[in-house]
Amino acid sequence: MPRQIDLIRASKLSSNMMQFAAKGALSVPPDENIEILVYLAKHNKIFGDLARLTLAGWDEKASLAAASDPKTPREVLDYLVSPENLRPKLLPALVENPSVAESELAKFALSASQESIAVLLQSPRVRASAGILDSLKSNPYLKADGAATIARLLNANETQAPNLPVTDLALQAPTAASVDEATSPENPLQRPDEAGDVPHEAGDVPDEAVSAYLAIHATEISQEQDKPFQPVGGIVELLGADSVPVSENPVSENKEMSQIAGSTEQAAAGAAGSSAAAAGAKRATGAVAQPAHRDNAVQKINRLDVKGRIQLAMKGNKEERSILIRDGTKVVALAVLDAPKLSDGEVEKFALQKNVLEAVLRQIPLKRRFMKNYIVVRNLVSNPRTPLDLGLGLMKHLLTQDLKNISANKEVSETVRKLALKMYKQKLEMANKK
């Protein structure tokens, strides 16, 4: 007799039975029940949401048994260990289960909470794995003592990344103390202001920081290495529609980019001459002086492959970061958020942008430094492109007046507006009772 999971995969159950399955109500063994739920959660558009809700409240004892058993299907283990689904009490069992892939644990380690970091660092498997430890080094919630522990473990395993001194770990894992010191009111000169960056040269960013990012994301980079620069929203929007004549004829993104950047270069070169006649003479002889600022930024980026754009995202200037944050290649756009020179003012603007990947908006809250900035939080909630679950989760941090403003903001979803209004009224009632 075939198993129920096989019938579900073959779409041979009635809709009523499928609904029972999504509620975990089929008369099957516990291990098959959880396998069915995970399959529906990942592959069924109709009953997937119900299956995910069922799994979130699934019996803890049965869930722990599945997390501990090496015979549990890989798909189930990957689902249980993913950051969006993980139940904290299952983590110790999942970490030590040999059937859980090290790559999944490394992915989880990148954004694990402080409590989960403590569990990971107590695990014999993690302590012996250079790959997972390397991922932990880039976790924004990692504290100084955790970074020191990781450095010792890597040394003990004789697998520490070359030329990466322990003192450089702060570039990848900012601690609460370092963030507080850098942004404290008593030390305002160490915090980049909203209008610009701390005055560093590109060479000030150590190559080790770039190398670490490239190593962690090697798989993604290899898959996307030939993907050209394609900004979210298009090149016309990037440079400004008012200054760019848009052709009615369809052209490729890269061709359009070259034409626009070329016209920008010519206009700037003409203005740079001492007179119109002199500029014309220079153009006639092919000796046009190229300006040193805006004219070549897009062209420069357009010539780079994925690795080159990642290096520029982490070592370039503010203008280059403002362009690369809109890169349609996720691994490039996220590299901007890891740039050591990135200022709080820049992140405030990124959080409000509608022309960035959803992954960028999801990554910002994972950086502890950014979440200490109230404007960043407020802008994320106000951004209609912010994923609904993220915006609703951040709303509890907003002040009363901002809740009121968002409740009247018709750009955001109705769900966000309703919850903002509800929380606004609750805060008013609490204030009136005092």
pLDDT of residue 54: 92
pLDDT of residue 35: 94
Burial grade of 338 (CB within 10 A; 0-12, 13-18, 19 or more): buried
pLDDT of residue 204: 62
Would the pLDDT of 125 be above 80? yes
The pLDDT tens digits of the residues spanning 250-286 come to 344 444 444 444 444 444 444 444 444 444 444 444 4
pLDDT of residue 131: 84
Would the pLDDT of 293 be above 90? no
Instruction: Report the percentage of the chain scoring pLDDT > 90.
Output: 38
Please tell me which residue, 277 or 30, carries the higher pLDDT value: 30
| Cα separation, 58 vs 94, whole angstroms | 16
Per-residue exposure over 177-208, b if at least 16 CB sit within 10 Å of its own CB, e if not: eebeeebeeeeeeebbeeeebeeeeeeebbeb
Q: Would you say 36 and 5 are in contact if contact means Cβ atoms under 8 Å apart?
A: yes
pLDDT of residue 263: 46
The pLDDT tens digits of the residues spanning 193-209 come to 333 333 333 446 777 77
CB count in 10 Å sphere of residue 127: 18
pLDDT of residue 269: 47
For residue 398, what are the contacts with CB-CB under 8 A and spacing of at least 6? 377, 378, 381, 406, 420, 423
pLDDT of residue 137: 85
pLDDT of residue 434: 63
pLDDT of residue 108: 86
Q: What is the mean pLDDT of residues 112-117?
A: 87
pLDDT of residue 182: 36
| Cα separation, 272 vs 50, whole angstroms | 64
Q: Would you say 204 and 277 are in contact if contact means Cβ atoms under 8 Å apart?
A: no
Q: Which long-range contacts (CB under 8 A, 24 or more apart) does 22-27 make?
A: 22/47, 22/48, 22/50, 22/51, 22/54, 23/50, 23/54, 24/54, 24/58
In three state form, how does the secondary structure of 187-210 look?
CHHHCCCCCCCCCCCHHHCCHHHH
Residue type, 205: V
Biggest CA–CA distance in the chain, Å, is 90
| Cα separation, 202 vs 186, whole angstroms | 28
From the list 227, 177, 187, the residue with the least C-alpha distance to 331 is 227
Q: How far, in Å, are 31, 143, 272 from residue 299 at the CA level?
A: 56, 40, 19
Would the pLDDT of 47 be above 60? yes
- Rounded mean pLDDT of the chain? 77
Would the pLDDT of 341 be above 80? yes
Alpha carbon 74 to its chain centroid, in Å, reads 25
Would the pLDDT of 77 be above 90? yes
The pLDDT tens digits of the residues spanning 207-252 come to 777 888 888 888 888 888 888 999 888 765 665 544 444 343 434 4
pLDDT of residue 265: 45
| Cα separation, 108 vs 203, whole angstroms | 32
Q: Which range has highest mean pLDDT (66-80, 95-109, 247-261)?
A: 66-80
Residue 325 in tokens: 């944050």
The pLDDT tens digits of the residues spanning 329-340 come to 999 999 999 998
pLDDT of residue 291: 44
Burial grade of 388 (CB within 10 A; 0-12, 13-18, 19 or more): exposed
pLDDT of residue 94: 94
Task: Give 326's pLDDT tier (boundaries 50, 70, 90).
Answer: very high
Would the pLDDT of 181 be above 60? no
Task: Give 178's pLDDT tier (boundaries 50, 70, 90).
Answer: very low
Residue 348 in tokens: 């405030």
- Kindly state the DSSP code that residue 58 receives in the 8-state scheme: -
Residue 176 in tokens: 């609460």
Would the pLDDT of 388 be above 70? yes
The pLDDT tens digits of the residues spanning 136-165 come to 888 878 888 888 899 888 887 654 444 333
pLDDT of residue 86: 86
| Cα separation, 307 vs 310, whole angstroms | 5
| Cα separation, 380 vs 270, whole angstroms | 41
Q: How far, in Å, are 261, 303, 304 from residue 226 at the CA level?
A: 21, 11, 10
